[in-house]
Amino acid sequence: MALTKVQIGMTDAPTSGTAVTASGTSVDFNSIPATAKRITVMFNGVSTNGSSNLLVQLGTSGGVVTSSYASGCWGANTTNTGSSAGFIATGLNGAGRTNYGMMIISSFGSNAWASIVNIFDASNNANNGAGVQTNLGGILDRIRITTVNGTDIFDAGTINIMYE
């Protein structure tokens, strides 16, 4: 039996953003509609010039929220890496590592969000993790992709989002 959008709870197809070349210390996606309940962040060959792990932060009209997250990510052959400054997207990163994959961020309602991430890097390592932000303090309308240290520079790849 084929499923329809109504049968799986979806009324509209996801809306795609415009892919952005990863450059500078962060990539921002603004103007996410208040009706969005799930956002997918897609990484296509993304790398940085340093070894700080990738980080995704949520934001409201008041700006990007940089605290009160609980997140962790396991990079192959490493220990778990965590962050309270955002949803950590890699547990293993390094200059020149190219990352491919996605992070799905879903609403619990009441400005609370959860994430899951699966990223593969071209060095044959898998990065898997999850996180939660239970007090965003407003309606999500933006997402920032950066690094844990905030100073490593993106030097390759593209990043895009889809929301529904």
Write down the domain spans for the chain: 39-163
Mean pLDDT, the chain, integer: 90
Distance between CA atoms of residues 151 and 158, nearest Å: 18
pTM, two decimals, is 0.90
14-26 pLDDT, tens digit each: 999 999 999 999 9
The pLDDT, as a whole number, for residue 9 is 56
The pLDDT, as a whole number, for residue 127 is 92
The pLDDT, as a whole number, for residue 122 is 81
Chain position carrying tokens 């390094």: 94
138-151 pLDDT, tens digit each: 999 999 999 999 99
The pLDDT, as a whole number, for residue 6 is 45
